[in-house]
Chain A
Amino acid sequence: MIRDALLVAGKDLRLEWRSRVALNQVAPFALLVLVLFAFALDPDRGLLEKATPGLYWVAVLFSGLLALQRSFSIESADGNRDALRLSGLDPAGIFLGKVMAVGLQLLALEVLLGIGVAVLYTTPITGWILLLVTAMVATVAIAAAGTLYGVVAAGLRVRETLLPLLLLPVLAPVLIGSTRAFEAALGGTPSEGWPWVGLMGVIAVLYIVAGVFGFGPLMEES
Chain B
Amino acid sequence: MIPQTPTEVTGPASTGSRATRVLGLLALVALGVLVLFGLILSPADASQGESVRIMYVHVPSATVAYIGCFLTTLGSIIYLWRKSRWWELVAYAGAEVATLFTVITLVTGMLWGRPTWGVYWVWDARLTSTAMLLLLLLGYLAVRRLPADYEVRAKRAAIVGLLLVPNVMIVRKSVDWWRTLHQKPTLLSNGLDSKIEGLMLFSLFTGFIAISLVFGWLIVHRFRLAWLEEQVESEGLDIAIAERRAEALIGEVAP
Interface, chain A (partner B; CB < 8 A):
148-149, 152-153, 156, 158, 162, 165-166, 169-170, 172-173, 176-177, 180, 195-196, 199, 202-203, 206, 210, 214, 217-218, 220-222
Contacts and interface: CB of A to CB of B under 8 A. Distances in A.
A166 B160 contact: yes
A220 B159 CA distance: 13
- Closest 6 A/B residue pairs (Cβ): A173-B174, A169-B135, A166-B139, A222-B152, A221-B151, A152-B156
Contacts of A180: 177-178, 181
B85 interface: no
Q: Is the interface of B mostly helix, strand, loop or mixed?
A: helix
Given A180-B178, A218-B156, A166 B143 contact: yes
Given A203-B170, A221-B155, A169 B178 contact: no
B146 interface: yes
A205 to B, nearest CB: 11
A176 B143 contact: no
A130 to B, nearest CB: 16
A156 B148 contact: yes
Interface of B: 80, 132, 135-136, 138-139, 142-143, 146, 148-149, 151-152, 155-156, 159-160, 162-163, 166-167, 170-171, 173-175, 177-178, 181
Contacts of A153: 143
Contacts of B155: 217-218, 220-222
Contacts of B178: 176, 180
Contact of B136 (A169, A195, A220, A221): A169
A192 to B, nearest CB: 8
A206 B168 CA distance: 13
